[in-house]
Amino acid sequence: MRFTVFKRAATASVGLLASLFMAMGVAKASDVTISHYFSGPFMSVMGDVFDDFNAATGFTMKDSPVGHEDFKTDILVRGASDSLPDVFSYWAGARVQFVVDSGDLSPIDDMWNRDGLDNVVAKAIADSATLYNGQRYLVPMQFHYAGMFYNKKVMSDAGISEMPSDWEGFLALCETLKGQGITPIALGSMNRWPAQFWFDYLILNTAGPEVRAGLMDGSVGYDAPEIAAAMSIWKDLVDAGYFVENANAQTWTDASDKVAQGEAAMTLMGTWITGYWNDLDMEADVDYDFFPFPTINADAPVSVVGPIDGLVVSANVQNKEGAEAFLSFFVSDLETQVAWTKAVGAVSANVNVDPSVYNALINRVIDTVGAADNFAFNYDLATPPPVAEVGLSMFQEFMENPADYEGILARAQESAAAAF
C-alpha cells in the first residue's frame, strides 16, 4: 500500500518534471534569446526596444538580464557549457577580443555589408570597436566618455568661473578648493574600476597613446619609467590631500553623491554619471557640468577615454537571422538609438542621429570626442582580462599607500608578465 503511494507520487513527479523540461526546451523558431547587464531603470527602455523590434520584424526577443558585475561570471559559465544566448551585450575592446579568440562569437560581416552599416556607424568607432582579427563581430549600442564632472554651485561659490585646460590651472583649482575647505576630487575605488580613468588619462597625457598601447599589450612593462612618472603625478595629488579620504571604502555612486551634495567638487567619471545625477533631479548645465582632463604634456596627442558597450552574436546562435536583425535594428533605428542613449546618459555611435536631440552638455561631449586625436578604451577594456585584474587591484593598493607606488608597479609587472 505504502509503495503504491510512492509509485504514484514518483510517476507524477517524473511526469511533472518531464513536462517542465519540455516547456523549457520548446522555443519557437521566431524567438531570439538575449542576455545583457542593463538593469534597474534601463530595463523598461530595453523592454520598449524589444517591443518595437518585435512589431517591426515579427521576431520575439526573449530576455534574461543579469546584474552588471554578475554578468562577467554568468556569461563565462554559459560560454563554457555552449549555452550562450543568441545575442548578448559585451564590452568592446580586449574583452570581446578574448571571446572572439575563444571561438564563442559569430562574425557579422554579411549583415554589416548587406545593411550598409558602414554608412550608419561612425568610422572611428567602427574601426576601433567592431573589428576583431579582421572581421566584424559587434555593433555599438552607444559610447561613453570619461571627463571631469563637477558641481557648478560649489565651483561658483569658490569663486571659480573658468575651468582649467592645463595642469598648472588644474593644480591651482585644487589648491583654491582645498583652501576653502572643499575636497577637490571625489573617487570611489571600492569596486576598483573608477580609479582606472586617472591611470588612463595620466599615462595618455604624459607618455602618449603608443606607450599606453604597449602597456596594454604587454610590450611595455608596468615598471617602465614613463609609467612610474605618471604614477608619481597621481601620488602628488593624493599627497596634497586633493582626493577624498577613504576612497577605497566608497562606490562610484558614493563619490557622485559627494559631488552632488557639495562635499567634493568634481569626479573623473563616465557620461553615465549624467543619468545618475538626472535621477537625483539635477540638471545638466544648471547643477553640473564637465571639463576635459587637463593637458599635461602639450606635445602628446589629445586623447579621450571611454567604454563602448556593444551587442554580439554567439557562435552557438539558434536564430542567426533574428539575432543579426536585432543587432542591425538596434544600431540603425533612430528612435531606438535616441531613446536608448538618452536613457543611459551616453552618445549614439550612429552618424544619422541628429545631435540636437541631446542637451548642450552631451553636445559638448560629442565635440570633445570629435576633436580628439585618439579614442582609447578605458584600462579594463583595453588590456586582456587576466592582466586587467592585476591593474585594477593595483589602483586600489595605490590609493591605500601611494608612497609605495614604485613597489606596487614592480609587483604589478611581475603579475602582469605572468598573466600575458
Partner 1 sequence: MERDALYWRVILLAAPIAVFTALVIWPLLSSFYYSFTNWNGFNPEYDFVGLDNFAKIGTDRLFASAIINTAIWMVAAIFLPTLLGLALALLLDSKVPGGTIFKTLFYLPICLSAVVVGQIWIWIYQGDWGLLNTVLRAVTGSDFSYAWLARPNTALGSVIVAWSWQQTGLSMVIFLAGLTSIPDELLEVCDIEGATAWQRIRIVVIPLLTPATVVVVALSVINSLKGFDILYIMTGGGPFHSSDTLAMHMYNESFKKYLMGYGSAISVVLFLIALTIIRIYFRNLRKVDEIYG
Which stretches of the chain bind partner 1, using CB under 8 A?
Answer: 3, 6-7, 10, 72-73, 76, 79-80, 98-99, 101-104, 190, 192, 245-246, 248-249, 385-386, 389, 393-394, 396-397, 400, 411, 414-415, 418-419
Task: Name the one residue in this structure whose C-alpha cell is 550608419.
Answer: 120
Please report how close the Cβ of residue 1 comes to partner 1 at its closest, in angstroms. Answer: 10
Closer residue to partner 1 (CB): 44 or 83: 83
| Dihedral angle computed from the Cα positions of residues 258, 262, 267 and 270, in that order, rounded to the nearest 10 degrees | 80
Please report how close the Cβ of residue 242 comes to partner 1 at its closest, in angstroms. Answer: 18
Closer residue to partner 1 (CB): 19 or 401: 401
Please report how close the Cβ of residue 373 comes to partner 1 at its closest, in angstroms. Answer: 32
Q: What is the 3-state secondary structure (H, E, C) of 108-171?
A: CHHHHHHCCHHHCECHHHHHHHHEECCEECEEEEEECCEEEEEEHHHHHHCCCCCCCCEHHHHH
| Dihedral angle computed from the Cα positions of residues 356, 362, 367 and 373, in that order, rounded to the nearest 10 degrees | -140
Residue type, 184: P
Please report how close the Cβ of residue 251 comes to partner 1 at its closest, in angstroms. Answer: 11
Closer residue to partner 1 (CB): 66 or 173: 66
What does the block give as the cell for 119?
554608412
Please report how close the Cβ of residue 386 comes to partner 1 at its closest, in angstroms. Answer: 4
What is the b/e burial string over 189-210, where b = at least 16 CB atoms within 10 angstroms of the residue's CB?
Answer: bbbbbbbbbbbbbbbbbbbbbe
Q: What is the 3-state secondary structure (H, E, C) of 274-299?
A: HHHHHHCCCCECCCEEEECCCECCCC
Closer residue to partner 1 (CB): 102 or 165: 102
Please report how close the Cβ of residue 396 comes to partner 1 at its closest, in angstroms. Answer: 5
Closer residue to partner 1 (CB): 370 or 386: 386
Closer residue to partner 1 (CB): 248 or 278: 248
Closer residue to partner 1 (CB): 315 or 338: 315
Please report how close the Cβ of residue 15 comes to partner 1 at its closest, in angstroms. Answer: 15
- Round to whole Å and give the CA distance between 417 and 420: 5
- Round to whole Å and give the CA distance between 270 and 143: 10
